[in-house]
Structures are given as C-alpha cells and as structure tokens.
Amino acid sequence: MRLPLRLLQLTAAILLAVIVWRAWSLRPTFDPAMVRLSPIEIATLPVAVRWDMPMGSEHGALTYNAQPFRITRHLGDDLNGIGGYNSDLGDPVYAAATGRVVFRGHAGPGWGKVIILAHRVRNAETGQLEVVQSMYAHLDTTQVEPDQLVPRGTQIGTVGTADGRYLAHLHFEIRLGPYVFPGVGYADAPLNCVSPERFIAQHRGAAPELLTPAVETVR
C-alpha cells in the first residue's frame, strides 16, 4: 500500500508544479511604459512659468547641439560643451524649469544615470495645465532625490558618458504627458517627444535679453 501512496503523492506534486508553471507563464506582463503619474501627483506638480537651457547659460551659450531632435531618428538633443570630446565631462547640468523628480536612477545600457523632472505647463491655446517632462540622460553624477521639488536653474547632476559608452554629452528630451519611463532614445516616430530647443524657445517666459541666474521660487 505504501508504493501506490508514494506514486499518488509524486503525481500530485507534478500536477501542482505544472499548474503553478502554467499560471506563471500566463501572468500579465508588466509594462513599465504604462507607469503614469496619479491624478494627485499631477495636481501637486509645480507650474513651470519659465524655461532655460540645461547647460551653459540660459540661452545655452558655450554649448552646441551635436545631434538635434529627429536627426537620425533621435528623440532629443545631444548637448556638448564647445570643446567637444570629453572636455565637458563633469560640467553642471541644471533643471530647465521648476519641477518634481519623478525618476532618478540607472536606466540601463545606453542610458547611464537618468533624471526625469515632471512639470505642469499652461497650454497657450486652451489655457489648461498639461504635464510636461524634461529628461536628462548619460549623467556622470546625480544631485537630487526622488520626489524632490527642484527650482529652475538648480544643478541636478553632471555631464557623463553613459558609463563609458559615449563621449561626454547630455541627452536632453522634452516629453508630453504623464507616463514616466526612460524608454528609447531613437524611434521611427517622435512618440510623445518634441524638440527641446523649440519648446524652450516657445515657453521661455522671459525676454531674450533677460538673463537671471537666480533660482526660481518653487510654487
């Protein structure tokens, strides 16, 4: 009688293992691209009333755009110091506008250290506040914490090489919408990205001759 009992127990264990494996294989796949800010998080985002370039001066002086938005399917601007190569390694990177840190971490091969700030910006046509995100990638160091409110012009990190993958530069993106995900740097379509240079020119919120390095008060 002991042998059939052992066989029954073994069969039951195998069936249980098959059921568990099957349930695991059919589980819904987590898609980080679907992670989005909650309504409460959106409501507490600061309103960004002024935008400046994240490197050099407010107008991006002493920098150049080595690979603009949509050149070779690029989803951002690659900003460099005027010396090129690794001459800008460790140069300061500033918050382009007042925002909240919604991502800070290592985003994987090709990205290196990344910071994403979320902001609210008023749509000039509708008057509604909309979520905009500024992304700073390939950083060598980061100087902010998750969920931190960061005033415009605050140093948030330094220019890096994405862990030695590239020559030093800042990959800078402007993204529309509440979805928080580093994603990809190149795509056939612009996705939810817009030209950073054009966006900042349209939303600067100050006269061209006004160069005020003072940190903006967080709203």
Give percent above pLDDT 70 in the chain.
Answer: 84
- pLDDT value at position 99? 97
Residues 6 and 108 in one domain: no
Q: Is the domain of 97 the same as that of 165?
A: yes
Q: Contact 173/134 with Cβ under 8 angstroms?
A: yes
Residues 56-68: pLDDT tens digits? 876 677 888 999 9
The parent domain of residue 168 ranges over: 39-203
User: Which ranges constitute the DSSP H helices of 37-90?
Assistant: 39-43
Is residue 57 situated within a structural domain?
yes
Please work out, in degrees rounded to the nearest 5, the angle formed at the alpha carbon of residue 143 by the alpha carbons of 213 and 133: 75
For the whole prediction, is pTM greater than 0.85? no
Q: pLDDT digits over 170-196, tens only?
A: 999 999 999 998 888 999 999 999 999
For the segment 114-125, the average pLDDT, to the nearest whole number, is 94
**Dist CA 98 CA 106 (whole Å):** 22
Q: Which two tokens stand for residue 28?
A: 């819904």
Specify whether 15 is located in the same domain as 49. no
